[in-house]
Each structure stands twice: as structure tokens, then as C-alpha cells.
Amino acid sequence: MPKGLPDPRWHPRHADQRGRALDTARSAVILAGGQGTRLRPLTLGRPKPIVPLLNLPFLHYQLALLRRHGIQDVVLACSYLVEAVQKTLGDGRDLGVKLRYVVEAEPLGTAGGVRNAADLTDGNLVVLNGDVLTDVDLGAMLSSHEARGARASIYLTPVEDPTPYGLVETDASGRILGFLEKPAREQITTNTINAGIYLLDRNLLELIPRGQAVSLEREFFPGLLARQVPFFGFVARAYWRDIGNLEQYRQAHVDLLRGTVNTPLTPTGTRRDDVWFGEGVTLAASARVAGPSVLGSSVTLEAETSVGPFTVIGNGVSVGRGSRLEGAILWDEVRVGQDAVLRECVVGSGAQIRAGAHVGPGAVVAENGVVP
Ligand code: GTP
């Protein structure tokens, strides 16, 4: 840097008393390299970052959140079905962000993935698990991070049942004391869990060995505690859901349809009486649609069909005469025959639900699957 010019990362507002630069996070890394086994069979052909949510690729919601908080430089750490992700999300221009991809030949784990991707970024980092739907106030999290002189912060969210998650224990000041992955009931001492949203001083990433599979939760974070790095939990009341299993994935649709998630995104199309209609929807006069529901473009509903509430239908879907859909999520190009009943289920793209079939609560139909 030329002499006399201030280091752009150095600003008194972001310097603590020990004179350490705490530059405002400008870049984000999204961890998007997992195989999404809990969402199978849906993720066999389509990786979790782009499974549809109200007919939009899932990561649109995270990119919109980052954009809303002024973060436009985003690197996706990918390793599974990468081409599909790139084809769907492109360079992020449509969403007002600059999106770049770093591909792991072999999955490097969550810490290895961050280390690998961070080479492309500047300043301190926001890191997101690529499977959480949230409206957390990242600006408030960053202010808390800076005010406490933290070098690492984790967003902690309270949940009713913490057993499937990673528990994080803190002291009264919010300083992190310990981690417990997927605790047994008798081990539970707190209901705040690691929400998969982090702020990291980039210098800390040097602690992660290169080119090696390393976990944030199991290795890197406990290592920070052992080194007594200032490491804090940020607890806030915000919407938060891990969409990584079928039940949570379906529930995320319900939440968005109810308006419980504060997001700038809306489904594509025009809204009438709590129903979103995409372009070229063909409705028979006797078809009924109850909101909140979403119909994608070129959807056809034949006579006496009944759709909704809480139903999301992808583009190019046709529903045969007399069929009933309630709480159902249908991806693109699904064909539903006559007099079928679909309730609280998820149906992958191109699937065929034959006449008279019943697809019940909790069921999932794989892409191109056939239900006789
Ligand atoms: P399941 O197999 O269903 O548990 O899902 P998953 O593979 O996504 O794993 P998990 O939910 O534990 O991962 C949390 C986040 O980290 C997700 O957003 C994953 O995409 C991401 N992730 C997991 N492993 C890796 C990895 O090796 N590399 C990268 N870049 N991301 C990963």
C-alpha cells in the first residue's frame, strides 16, 4: 500500500482498545457443499441450495437477506451437483449480489469449506449454513460482535427441542463456554442452539489446515475456546428454520405463506385473494383455489379440482378433473391424474400421480417418480 494512505480496513470506529482492527464484514461465505441426505430422495437430482421454496431456489432467500444487510460479495462453497447450482443461480446479478463459486473436489467439511472459499473474500466474514431460512438482523449481530470485542460470534436461536442440533452454552455476558452436539435429553442445560450463522475475524481462519476435511462445530470452534479467543453467542428473536429435512422443508413453505418470515422476496406472478398466479395459468370455471397458495406459470387445473390452502404448485403442472390438493408442495412439470388426493406431501419434478391415487401426509415422491 502506498505510504501515507490509510489502510482501508483500518477505521477508528472498528478498532478496539487493544488497537485491533475489527473491520465491518463485507463478504459472506455460504456453505453449500453438503449432500443433503436428510432431504433424499429430493436431493438426489437437485442439491439442497436450489430446492424450490415457493417456487424460488432456496438460496435466493439467503442472498436476499445478505443483500438487505449490505453484503454483496458472496462466495458459495460447493462440492455436490455444482453445475446445477451454478446454472440456477448464475453470477447473482439478478439478486443484486456478486456470486462466486469455489468447488471442493472432495468435501472439506464446514471449516475446510470456509477456509477454501475465504481466499476470494475481503475483510471479516459472515458465514451461513446453506440450509437455514432466517430473517435474523445481521447488522445487529455485527454491532454486538464489535461492541464485545469478539473475534468470533455465533447466532444462537432458542428451539423447543434441541436434541437434533448443536447446543451452545454461554456465561451471563454471552461468552461461549462449550459445545454439545446432538445431546441426549439428560444432557440438555440450555435451549439455545447453533443456528449456523457466524461472524469470523478472517485471521482466525489461519488455524484451519488447508486442503483437509475439518469441521467448524467439532474442531475449529472448540479450538477457539481452548485458545481463549473472544468468542460470543448472539441471541435474538428472529425467524429461523433449518430446512434440511422433509418436515422442516414443508413447514418452511407454510411459514412463508403465513407471512411469518420477514423477506423481501415474493412468489413470481400476480396476487389475488391470497393466491399467487404465475403467467399462463389455466383454470376451469369449476376449479377452486383457496389461499394462501401459489400457482407457478402454465399451471392447468381441470374442472372440479380443489387446491389449497397452503399448496404450492410449480411451473407447468397439470391437475386432472376432480383432484384435491391440500398442504401439498409440487415441483415443476408434475402430472396429476383425475380424482387424486394429495395432502401435506412433497412431489418432485416430473412425477406422475395417476388417477385415483392418494398421497398422504409426510409422503415424498421422487423426481420423475410414478404413483400408480
Ligand atoms: P444432511 O446430509 O442431510 O445432514 O445435510 P448436509 O450434507 O447439508 O449436512 P449438514 O446439514 O450438517 O450441513 C450444514 C451445512 O454445511 C449445509 O449448508 C451443507 O451444505 C454444508 N456442508 C456440509 N458439509 C460440507 C462440506 O464438506 N463442504 C462444504 N462446502 N459445505 C458443507
Whether residue 24 has pLDDT greater than 70? no
Whether residue 122 has pLDDT greater than 90? no
Q: Which atom of ligand 1 is nearest to the CA of 77?
A: 30
pLDDT at position 283, please?
Answer: 96
Does residue 72's CB lie within 6 angstroms of at least one atom of ligand 1? no
pLDDT digits (tens, 9 = 90+) for 196-227: 999 999 899 999 999 889 999 999 999 999 99
pLDDT digits (tens, 9 = 90+) for 46-97: 999 999 999 999 999 999 999 999 899 999 999 888 899 999 999 999 889 9
pLDDT digits (tens, 9 = 90+) for 249-281: 999 999 999 999 999 999 999 999 999 999 999
Does residue 35's CB lie within 6 angstroms of at least one atom of ligand 1? yes
Enter the pTM of the model.
0.90
Q: Which atom of ligand 1 is nearest to the CA of 114?
A: 30
pLDDT digits (tens, 9 = 90+) for 294-348: 999 999 999 999 999 999 999 999 999 999 999 999 999 999 999 999 999 999 9
Looking at residue 191, its amino acid is: N
pLDDT digits (tens, 9 = 90+) for 159-175: 888 888 888 989 999 99
Does residue 110's CB lie within 6 angstroms of at least one atom of ligand 1? yes
What mean pLDDT comes out for the span 281-288? 96
Whether residue 10 has pLDDT greater than 70? no
pLDDT at position 22, please?
Answer: 32
pLDDT at position 21, please?
Answer: 31
pLDDT at position 25, please?
Answer: 64
Total residues found in the chain within this entry: 372
Please classify residue 72 by burial: count the beta carbons closer than 10 Å to its beta carbon, then call 0-12 exposed, 13-18 middle and 19+ buried. Answer: middle
- Locate the DSSP E strands across 23-86: 27-32, 52-53, 56-57, 73-78
Query: What's the gap in Å between 107 CA and the centre of ligand 1?
Result: 9
Cβ pair 215, 113 in contact under 8 A:
no
Q: Give the angle subtended at the CA of 154 by the CAs of 42 and 94, to the nearest 5°.
A: 50
Phi-psi region of 54 (alpha: psi -120 to 50; beta: other; left: phi over 0): left
Q: Whole-angstrom Cα distance, residue 162 to residue 71?
A: 30
Structural domains of the chain sorted by starting position, each given as residue range(s) with its CATH number in brackets: 12-245 (3.90.550.10), 270-371 (2.160.10.10)
Does residue 79's CB lie within 6 angstroms of at least one atom of ligand 1? yes
Whole-number percent of the chain with pLDDT over 90: 77
Query: What's the gap in Å between 149 CA and the centre of ligand 1?
Result: 29
* Average pLDDT along the chain: 89
